[in-house]
Chains A and B, each alone.
Chain A
């Protein structure tokens, strides 16, 4: 019988305590002021304190209540989905809207258990066309359509 009987509450509590403590520690550099003349550190320090308190209650409660373990069936979708968004962000300025959109669609599609590569190529090209029509021309988005280095 583990001590931590409600892991979700426990880790949520730990998370709140960590964030609250960090908030207070950083806010120590900001002037506290008084209630009548609040400095920039007043509100954050209070919030940090409340946050630590809530976190502590959650941790205490996790020893008493009972619940399931946290389920991590697979990390693939997390890594692939956010990884492809990251790819889009780092490439779009020099690769342009078309290539980055295609890259984003192709990369993120892999995360589905029903992945079909031919289908996702078609989807990527269709979306890239739509995006250029709607965002680049329709909404005048400030992004290069093609790699600026190639088009000049």
Chain B
């Protein structure tokens, strides 16, 4: 079995003392920022990027990856105990997890979240190991037309499965694509939308956008609501599941794992999308959907499994296609380019140690995370008792210094203020900022591949439908759009609008 031989190679890399240490540091930090609301993996990884210069590439990537999937574990703790998503993908976990905590089952909810995440993480490690090589083979056949269509599919799937208004989500993607244009055009050398500002000639850093739209806007909105948080910290006990509970949760864990593995692979996918989809499906197929939202164990098991397998599976498009499917993966591109590794299908053959080492480290990281999150849950609970009035100034400090350290420049910090205002406006207008970030990441890639595809076809746009792989990808995108446009689902969306108006 090739997969096992390769994973063996990976384990030999990942199990060196140094790499185990960096993996541990990554998952520890990931759990920490996952638990803390208001700071997620994007600003954290962005802050740590500069110091990865000094590390060997494998260790750097292992650590950064650990932060991402570690945050998925930590996020569930906050969701269950405080009803706040410690990390954005835990939004769905709040619904039933917090209700379980209110009913005195906080320990059970935490246990099922960790167990689900572990099963999902283990499975996803094999998915990445099994699917990446054949996908990389396919990717070698990809031309610009295929890449362009793939990105269209990714953007559309992000829109379709996002919460809220479709139209606004599309608008936000286009806005992101436009923001991605800012800077020097690679082909003509022309400065586009820079308004003569020299700092803009390299474009806007997406860390700047992410800090403003996510971190700052979220802090402001939290402060506006003056909410009092009810923390169920004294009631964390009974971490062991009974056999009956385990049997109840297991099918949901497996479904969530599967959904996450599939959706994670899509560009635009990843943890958040997977968690949403898994919860929705779980509710759809349940015998009694009304128990959801009232502390159903499956409502915790499915999304928690899905966000973990989704976060790991989202490494597949990065490692095989060289396309970052989400903001975290875009930062991983940054980490790879620091070490002059060009992400794409050739990584596996040119850098097998790095590729398989990273994959094997994910499983090791998952083992560490179970230990970090179950027996040591008390530490994280303590952390949650820090009141928000002390927490948010600290987050602001880390965000400011992190942004400054990107280019050792205050310009970036000033830009986060601008994006903070924009992010606040988006919240008020109920415009989801995640699609914007995705559009921003894919924008330059899309333009370049569109340009090349049309150059090769001499301006003939049918190239996107006459090449079979490209046509298939576009057909998938179209099917997704049609499914959403179906009357039944449209009605559901409108009901949501009416609830809002009431």
Contact = CB atoms under 8 A, between A and B. Distances in A.
Contact of B397 (A58, A77, A105): A105
A35 B181 CA distance: 18
Contacts of B226: 113
A12 B168 contact: yes
A89 B167 contact: no
B233 interface: no
Contact of B178 (A51, A85, A105, A114): A51
Contacts of A105: 393-394, 396-397
A89 B413 contact: yes
A139 interface: yes
Contact of A135 (B165, B401, B414, B446): B401
Nearest to A90: B410
Contact of A108 (B185, B392, B428, B501): B392
A107 to B, nearest CB: 9
A86 interface: yes
Contact of B394 (A51, A57, A81, A127): A127
Interface residues on A, range: 35 or more
A47 B221 CA distance: 30
B171 interface: yes
Contacts of A47: 174, 177-178, 181
B451 interface: yes
A135 B174 contact: no
Given A30-B192, A51-B171, A70-B428, A82 B216 contact: yes
* Most chain B Cβ neighbours within 10 Å, of A16, A74, A131: A16
Contact of A82 (B192, B221, B421): B421
Contacts of B500: 67-68
A85 B400 contact: yes
Interface in A1-54: 8-9, 11-12, 15-16, 19-20, 23, 26-27, 30-31, 34-40, 42-44, 47-48, 50-51, 54
Nearest to B447: A43
Contact of B450 (A43, A54, A55, A74): A43
Contacts of A43: 181, 446-447, 450-451
Contacts of A70: 428-429
Interface string B394-431: 10110111001100101001101100110011001111
A27 B288 CA distance: 55
A111 B223 contact: yes
Interface in B143-177: 165, 167-168, 170-171, 174-175, 177
Interface stretch (B269-277, B278-286, B455-463): B455-463
B193 interface: yes
Given A68-B501, A123-B390, A39 B188 contact: yes
Interface residues on B, range: 35 or more
Q: Is the interface of A mostly helix, strand, loop or mixed?
A: helix
B219 A127 contact: no
B174 A8 contact: no
A58 B389 contact: no
A115 B389 contact: yes
27 contacts: A9-B168, A15-B425, A30-B192, A35-B460, A36-B454, A36-B455, A36-B457, A38-B451, A43-B446, A44-B192, A77-B224, A78-B424, A81-B219, A81-B220, A85-B413, A90-B414, A104-B400, A105-B397, A108-B392, A109-B393, A113-B223, A120-B389, A120-B393, A123-B393, A123-B394, A135-B401, A143-B401
Given A92-B404, A109-B389, A120-B389, 13 more contacts: A19-B178, A36-B460, A37-B455, A38-B454, A44-B192, A57-B167, A61-B167, A78-B220, A85-B396, A105-B397, A112-B388, A123-B393, A127-B397
